[in-house]
């Protein structure tokens, strides 16, 4: 197996993501005649299974792999202190070395047998030697910026119509360093390698290099997106919609595929389609920031979800509000999430359309793991199913709270507040307030004043209105005394 091989014009490139517990995914990409890029090529086997390997064994082997890499760096002339510091930046490559071990010794992992130190060294040292042989003094940069492709040399041909974006290699290392001095590593004063233009562009937008690496690891095709043809036009379009520059990195991190979609043929028509379905066009900036993947779904998927919302009984106005406030609803499976959740609410006497229109995020929760435990909690506290249904209709978000971390401690404090249990049926929003910062503080003030307020008056009013009401109650009490 060879890594970070320099391929010629006719080669097809396979860029692999990090190893999973059972199968590695890969994306096949073809490149134009003039392009020559460095990347990681890893031949994996889907039959590799780590199911029999104890976690502590994998952790120990990872430490062994790091030790081999650190020793290799020192053998190449790097002093121990520098090598130790450099290791902190090589986690992605260490993961890749683990993939190498899992591939070479796959039969050992099938039976859960521990690898010996000599076996680990025998697999990794020759593999690392290939990097030195191929890249010489640049091999450390290749490791450090893994898996981002790094330009090796200048291969621009004359009389070609290939754009800057289709061919990253448009300048020598010296020219790049002069242009990207601001990207030098202040921590160790080493020069930044010749990164592809779109990586530099994203860094200038405020996207950290480690985040870019993570995006590429999860979605390898992003490494080869056109800067001028795809990324920059999408970013400028988002800025024109009112999205702040500081939010762009988060949007790209959430959905890098957005940068690979045509504006005129896909994004803009999809937005128009969603506006027809009810999305508030004045709130696109918020919608996209909340769920940028919305614009990457097919129209058939969008329409199918909207049709189900109508089937549930939502009005066209409610559908528009749901899509605007909770665009991630589109990602919920109709058969595995939306329909079962709708049936569950219906079974306990709750109109699912009411919950969907007010608290659509609840439909992304598991019926068995999240919804039923909440219902059971209140039933065990003496409430009837009709009470729970009324609470859910008034405050569906109650189903998004943890029983142990939220409902139970607030319930126990509620018992000390001298309110009847019916008060929670009237005002289930109680469970949405902070116990330490709101509930206890407000109630102690009311208790000390010697007056009585409804639970919703204690919690829902602003500080100004709360103290005005309390003052009036105290004044009235004193006048009657």
Give the least confident one: 26-40, 267-281, 319-333, 362-376: 26-40
Query: For residue range 392-402, what is the model confidence (pLDDT) as tens digits?
Result: 999 999 999 99
Instruction: For residue 293, give Cα distances in angstroms to 213, 245, 254, 290, 330.
Output: 20, 18, 8, 9, 9
Query: For residue range 1-18, what is the model confidence (pLDDT) as tens digits?
Result: 333 333 333 333 333 333
* pLDDT mean across residues, the chain: 79
Buried/exposed code over 8-38 (b: 16+ C-beta within 10 A; e: otherwise):
eeeeebbbbbebeeeebeeeeeebeeebbbb
Task: Note the pLDDT of residue 295.
Answer: 93
Could you tell me the sign of the dihedral formed by the alpha carbons of 456, 461, 467, 471, in that order?
negative
Strand 26-30 vs strand 12-16: parallel, antiparallel, or unpaired? antiparallel
Task: Note the pLDDT of residue 94.
Answer: 85
Three-state DSSP class for 349? coil
Residue 151 and residue 180 in contact, taking contact as beta carbons nearer than 8 Å: no
The pLDDT of 78-95, averaged and rounded, is 83
Task: Note the pLDDT of residue 335.
Answer: 93
Task: Note the pLDDT of residue 55.
Answer: 66
For the record, the structure tokens of 333 come out as 């499976």
The strand pairing partners of 190, in sequence order, are: 185
Query: For residue range 89-120, what is the model confidence (pLDDT) as tens digits?
Result: 888 888 888 888 877 777 666 556 677 777 88
Task: Note the pLDDT of residue 116.
Answer: 79
For the record, the structure tokens of 159 come out as 């009389």
38 has a pLDDT exceeding 60: no
Task: Note the pLDDT of residue 182.
Answer: 40
Task: Note the pLDDT of residue 425.
Answer: 96
Q: How many Cβ atoms sit within 10 Å of the Cβ of residue 285? A: 16
Task: Note the pLDDT of residue 198.
Answer: 84
Task: Note the pLDDT of residue 427.
Answer: 97
Task: Note the pLDDT of residue 168.
Answer: 36
CA 253 – CA 216 distance, rounded (Å) = 10
Task: Note the pLDDT of residue 57.
Answer: 65
| Percent of the chain residues topping a pLDDT of 70 | 75
**Phi then psi dihedrals of residue 190, to 5 deg:** -90, 155
236 has a pLDDT exceeding 80: yes
Give the least confident one: 20-29, 223-232, 374-383: 20-29
Between 4 and 345, the more confident residue is 345
Three-state DSSP class for 152? coil
When pLDDT is cut at 50, 70 and 90, the band that residue 36 belongs to is very low
Instruction: For residue 433, give Cα distances in angstroms to 88, 417, 460.
Output: 41, 15, 9
* Closest to 378 (Cα-Cα) out of 401, 352, 400, 411: 411
Between 310 and 108, the more confident residue is 310
Task: Note the pLDDT of residue 220.
Answer: 80
261 has a pLDDT exceeding 60: yes
Axis crossing angle, helix 91-104 with helix 117-135, rounded to the nearest 10: 120
80 has a pLDDT exceeding 70: yes
The strand pairing partners of 16, in sequence order, are: 26
368 has a pLDDT exceeding 70: yes
Give the least confident one: 20-24, 143-147, 429-433: 20-24
Task: Note the pLDDT of residue 148.
Answer: 66
- Predicted TM-score (pTM) of the model is 0.60
| Percent of the chain residues topping a pLDDT of 90 | 48
Query: For residue range 138-196, what is the model confidence (pLDDT) as tens digits?
Result: 677 778 777 665 544 433 333 333 333 333 333 333 333 333 334 434 434 444 556 78
Three-state DSSP class for 27? strand
């Amino acid at each position: 197996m060879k890594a970070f091989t320099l391929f010629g014009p006719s080669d097809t490139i396979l860029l692999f993501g990090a190893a999973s517990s059972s199968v590695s995914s890969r994306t096949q990409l073809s490149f134009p005649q003039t392009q020559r890029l460095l990347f990681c090529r890893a031949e994996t086997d889907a039959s590799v299974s780590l199911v029999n390997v104890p976690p502590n064994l994998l952790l120990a082997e990872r430490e062994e792999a790091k030790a081999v890499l650190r020793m290799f760096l020192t053998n190449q002339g790097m002093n121990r202190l520098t090598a130790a510091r450099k290791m902190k930046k090589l986690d992605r490559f260490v993961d890749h070395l683990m993939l190498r071990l899992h591939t070479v010794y796959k039969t050992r992992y099938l039976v859960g047998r521990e690898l010996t130190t000599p076996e680990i060294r025998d697999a990794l040292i020759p593999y690392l030697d290939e990097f030195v042989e191929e890249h010489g003094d640049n091999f450390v940069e290749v490791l450090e910026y893994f898996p981002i492709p790094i330009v090796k040399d200048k291969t621009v041909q004359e009389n070609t119509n290939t754009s800057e974006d289709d061919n990253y290699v448009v300048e020598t290392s010296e020219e790049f360093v002069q242009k990207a001095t601001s990207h030098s590593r202040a921590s160790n004063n080493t020069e930044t390698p010749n990164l592809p233009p779109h990586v530099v562009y994203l860094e200038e937008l405020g996207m950290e290099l480690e985040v870019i690496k993570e995006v590429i690891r999860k979605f390898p095709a992003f490494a080869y997106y056109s800067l001028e043809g795809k990324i920059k036009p999408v970013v400028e379009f988002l800025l024109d919609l009112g999205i702040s520059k500081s939010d762009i990195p988060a949007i790209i991190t959430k959905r890098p595929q957005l940068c690979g979609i045509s504006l005129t043929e896909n994004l803009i028509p999809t937005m128009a389609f969603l506006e027809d379905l009810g999305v508030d066009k004045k709130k696109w900036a918020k919608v996209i920031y909340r769920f940028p993947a919305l614009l990457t779904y097919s129209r058939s998927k969008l329409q199918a979800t909207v049709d189900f919302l109508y089937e549930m009984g939502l009005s066209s106005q409610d559908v528009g509000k749901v899509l605007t406030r909770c665009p991630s609803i589109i990602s919920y499976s109709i058969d595995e999430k939306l329909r079962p959740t709708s049936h569950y609410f219906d079974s306990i006497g709750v109109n699912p359309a009411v919950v969907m229109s007010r608290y659509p995020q609840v439909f992304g929760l598991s019926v068995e793991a999240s919804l039923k435990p909440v219902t059971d909690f209140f039933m065990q506290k003496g409430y009837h199913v009709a009470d729970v249904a009324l609470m859910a209709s008034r405050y569906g978000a109650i189903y998004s709270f943890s029983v142990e971390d939220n409902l139970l401690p607030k319930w126990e404090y509620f018992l000390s507040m001298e309110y009847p249990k019916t008060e929670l049926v009237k005002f289930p929003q109680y469970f949405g307030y902070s116990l330490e910062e709101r509930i206890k503080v407000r109630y102690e003030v009311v208790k000390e004043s010697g007056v009585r307020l409804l639970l919703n008056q204690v919690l829902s009013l602003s500080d100004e209105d709360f103290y005005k009401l309390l003052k009036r109650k105290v004044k009235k009490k004193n006048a009657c005394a």
